[in-house]
Structure 1
Amino acid sequence: MKWQRIPLGPLQTNAYLLSNDQKECVIFDPGGDGERLISIIQKQQLKPLAVLLTHAHFDHIGAVDDVRKTWNIPVYVHEKEKNWLQDASLNGSQFFIPDGGLAVQAPDELIKSEGQFSIGSFSFTLLHTPGHSPGSISFYVEELEVVFSGDALFEGSIGRTDLPGGNHNQLIKSIHDKLLTLPEETIVLSGHGGETTIGAEMDNNPFLNGF
């Protein structure tokens, strides 16, 4: 397996493609620029199996319908955000996008629990990491030593908690209990910015020091 990061949309939200030797892939957080993302996938001759959302804020879902229509694949989100894709007041877009915000079609599948999760040959450990939003999920891939953390943890920072459902104390607890317990060499693939590691954030993240 291998992964690639593709910043998309006005906020340069990181979408990720996780692919295998059979040219299958899953798409994390297709945040915008649908035509560009589709072109990248087609040029690599990849076959998407699903869209996995770390959470349902508007900057992570902008190209969901473009991708879903092109390949007729299911979209997964945590059950706590099952209505967010269709509701601009919940996904935050009403605060940033004029003329009604952004709404896309409802998710196809709801994630209801932590633990092992598979799509085709792709296997993940699901970690519920709320705080940035109630249904934030991190997807840990032990084989690759990576975690797709969405907007929970960034290089030297953490997710904002001033949007609907945000809770700072809950986010700090999620990071401490769920992410910092991963092996220190684990690469953190965040929703914005570059890569970091669990060990680096344990040592250097000012939001986490002293917790």
Structure 2
Amino acid sequence: MAGRTARIEHLVTSGTFDLDGGSWEVDNNVWIVGDDSEAVVIDAAHDAEAIAAALGQRRLLAIVCSHAHNDHVDAAPALAARTGAPILLHPDDLPLWKQTHPDRAPDGTLTDGQRIEVAGTALTVLHTPGHSPGAVCLYGEELGTLFSGDTLFHGGPGATGRSYSHFPTIIDSIRDRLLTLPPQTVVRTGHGDSTTIGAEAPSLGEWIARGH
């Protein structure tokens, strides 16, 4: 794998987030990590055709779900059907997954500490429950990047006001799993702007105090 250079590509797709009887218009960040020959997709949101177009002729190794809220997984089966790539999800989020895809199970599981290899680099799965039970972040140490899903945003933790979410749990996840990363780590989020661990750490101290 020597000499290969993984890069990060970013796509924004639009659709709805549906939960607990409500529906909200949202823009989602879709992240592609790879090189000219292979890639992984983090969160196949809303538009399988747009994601497939961004991939081009590259081999898709996996469709990784940061969590199973519908806006992060609604295009995953269609993208899998087009590419043959497996859909990977932490099993604790299967109840949420089944709300969107009752007749199509994920192809594989994500576990804490699992390494996903692509284009000469590795993404390490960090189980970070709170926004949902099976929420995960992906840490690319060599890329200096954390893909945070909806666990951590520019400005604070992900939302915990709806079913399957729990505020003290997300605070524990951020404190124990994310604030321990190097402060210069770029945080590429599920919605909105990127940030860094160091930029978020001061305000997160206040959120942690509120959480306990």
Q: TM-score range by the shorter chain?
A: 0.7 to 0.9
Instruction: Give RMSD over aligned pairs.
Output: 1.9
Q: Counterparts in 2 of 1:89-128, with a 5 A limit?
A: 105-111=104-110, 113-120=111-118, 121-128=120-127
- Give, in angstroms, the shift of residue 157 of structure 1: 2.4
Equivalent residue, structure 2, for 1:63: 75
Distance 1:209 1:87 in 2: 31
Q: State the Cα deviation string for residues 1-53 of structure 1 (Å, max 9, x = none).
A: 11112111221111100013x521000001112212212222xx322111000
1:197 matched to 2:196? The reply is yes
Equivalent residue, structure 1, for 2:13: 8
1:32 matched to 2:46? The reply is yes
Higher strand share: 2
Distance 2:208 2:170 in 1: 14
Distance 1:169 1:80 in 2: 17
Equivalent pair of 2:127/2:135 in contact (CA under 8 Å): yes
The number of residue pairs the alignment matches comes to 194
Distance 1:52 1:206 in 2: 30
What residue ranges of structure 1 are gaps of 5+ in the alignment? 89-101
Q: 1:60 to 1:103 in 2, by over 3 A?
A: farther
- Give, in angstroms, the shift of residue 119 of structure 1: 3.7
Q: 1:170 to 1:8 in 2, by over 3 A?
A: same
Task: Indicate which of 79, 103, 118 corresponds to 2:91.
Answer: 79
Q: 1:36 to 1:116 in 2, by over 3 A?
A: closer
Equivalent pair of 1:82/1:110 in contact (CA under 8 Å): no
Q: Percent identity?
A: 34
What residue ranges of structure 2 are gaps of 5+ in the alignment? 1-5, 16-25
- Give, in angstroms, the shift of residue 205 of structure 1: 4.9
